[in-house]
Structure 1
């Protein structure tokens, strides 16, 4: 009886320790974000004279306007918006079609195709940059938006197909069989039955691939010779000079650059968490 009575207090201590650890971890994780926003609201000379997190003028948004126009940062930002929308749309469409076919349709050699996709995940992405460069320029797509978009789609497909196929495999086959009995074809089943059920998985691949596309810079640096096509990472580098760095503008531009990611995550947070936990729940 004594051991049973002592369990609640022990569990309470463990709970307090867990919550304390999570609070400390949250503070450590959020501090760089708070410091970045604080620095973006300071004047240039204030960065060196005011080490505190609270700027003298908390409503100083001039740095954001200056950062938006400085060094054509707005052009780089809109380039990344365009690339992200086109690439994510294509990846969701093609990966969901491929995953549906590999999971639900009877095709000769589909297991071999699927394992080839999985094998490509073991190859480091920078390891194929030379091959991508050669193929792109042989196709006459060098220094063009399409020459950047197509490789990015190809690089994003394997992990997306892997995630979506796992979800398709878990779905009840009775749903598909009932639709076939009612006269529905495979594309109708995919578009009107499977995709709505697949929203958590789609939200997962949208967020994961958006992070990858939005932060990508190495491939763009290899394929583009014209700065007008460069993504947002090039825009952030213009604030770093050889002899000086405009930290207030750099932090303002960085704050602007993370806004789309935060908005997308907030809109899809529920579906994203469902997608990440679905496998554990089903298991």
Structure 2
């Protein structure tokens, strides 16, 4: 028995080592494009074509970031995306949390029907609705405006956000609300004083998912905007690509500027994000 137990222990340790080795290899493969992008952004223009190493031959050239920031109005595109992302994420969290709380915890007539309607919209491909969406926005006089761009983004992001938050609220014991009601709390007080603090992990999941979605969005902006000054950061990358030449050192610096905020947000919120996943925030 002891020999068999030892053999099983060795097999278990060996399997774990193989799994960890595969995960390490996968991590290196996943990180390599980012490392290559950062390396290229710190090289001089001539060195890009002559030095295949990830380590720049000369001194680190941080001037590429300054030049990329000021080149072709790229700074304006970045600020546009920051504004769009902030407004959309705040709007989605506010509306989705209110809707999810009402559907999950309040006694409302037809709330299941409303919920299923929201979930049904998830099956509609977003690009397939661009024509009707543009007609509606134009009829409202919001075409080629920031509001006409952000409102559809909020609407598109609501179904999955409501789904995540409702699933999280469903997992919470009703005794929490009953105790608050006995203490004299009203529904809205329960919502923002109890439910929202408890749902921080689920909200972190929503923030990261929607931030990535809005920050990387391009097609809807291309449909809604004819004024380049309103375009998001994805449009800004095209200024570094000419008809005959591409300024790779500036393009990589611009892409680094685009990626760094997303990485920082994830690093700062990764604990809540992981908790949101492991605690059942995305369970059906």
Task: Calculate the TM-score normalised by the size of structure 1.
Answer: 0.98
Q: Could you tell me which residue of structure 1 aligns to residue 71 of structure 2?
A: 70
Please say if residues 214 and 232 of structure 1, whose CA atoms lie closer than 8 Å, have aligned partners that are also in contact: yes
Structure 1 portions without partners, runs of 5+: none
Distance 1:58 1:210 in 2: 34
Q: Distance in 2 between matches of 1:168 and 1:12?
A: 39
Quote the residue 1:249 is aligned against. 250
Q: Deviations over 1:190-239 (max 9, x none)?
A: 01011000000000000000000000000000000000100000111111
Q: Say if 2:120 is the partner of 1:102.
A: no
Partner of 2:204: 203
Q: SS of the counterpart of 1:121?
A: helix
Q: Are residue 237 (structure 1) and residue 225 (structure 2) matched? A: no
Task: Tell me the secondary structure at the aligned position of residue 166 of structure 1.
Answer: helix
In the alignment, is the contact (CA less than 8 A) between 2:164 and 2:282 conserved in 1?
no
Alpha-carbon separation, structure 2, partners of 1:4 and 1:126: 57
SS of equivalent to 1:56: coil
After TM superposition, the structure 1 = structure 2 runs for residues 5-16 of structure 1, keeping only pairs within 5 Å, are: 5-16=6-17
Q: What residue is the counterpart of 1:168 in the other structure?
A: 169
2:225 corresponds in structure 1 to: 224
Q: Which residue of 1 aligns with 2:117?
A: 116
Quick check: 2:164–2:283 contact (8 Å CA) kept in 1? Answer: no
Q: CA deviation at 1:59?
A: 2.3
Moved over 3 A (4+): 280-283
Contact 1:41 1:57 in 2 (8 A): no
Q: Using a 3 Å threshold, how does the CA distance of structure 1 residues 281 and 121 change in structure 2: closer, same or farther? A: closer
SS at match of 1:45: helix
TM-score, structure 2 as length reference: 0.97
User: How many residues were matched structurally?
Assistant: 283
How far has the Cα of 1:280 moved from its partner?
8.8
CA distance in 2, matches of 1:280, 1:262: 22
2:107 is paired with a residue whose SS is coil
**Cα deviations by residue, 1:225-277 (Å, 9 ceiling, x for unpaired):** 00010000011111111111000000000001111111111111100000011
Q: Does 1:43 align with 2:65?
A: no
User: How big is the shift at 1:282?
Assistant: 9.6
Asked if 1:81 corresponds to 2:68, the answer is no
**What secondary structure does 2:279 align onto?**
helix
1:58 shift after superposition: 4.3
- Answer yes or no: is 1:26 the counterpart of 2:15: no
Q: Structure 1's 145 and 281: CA in aligned 2 closer, same or farther, altered over 3 A?
A: closer
Q: In the TM superposition, what whole-angstrom CA distance separates every residue of 1:148-175 from its partner, at most 9, and x where no partner exists?
A: 0111000000000000000000001011
Query: 1:214 matched to which residue of 2?
Result: 215
What is residue 264 of structure 1 aligned with on the other side?
265
Distance change (3 Å), C-alpha of 1:280 and 1:228? closer
Give the conservation status (yes or no) of the 8 Å contact 1:41–1:248.
yes
**Quick one: distance in 2 between partners of 1:15 and 1:226?**
55
- Unpaired runs of 5+ residues, structure 2, are none
Deviates most, 206-215 or 235-244: 235-244
Is contact 1:211-1:261 (8 Å) kept? yes
CA RMSD of aligned residues (A): 1.4
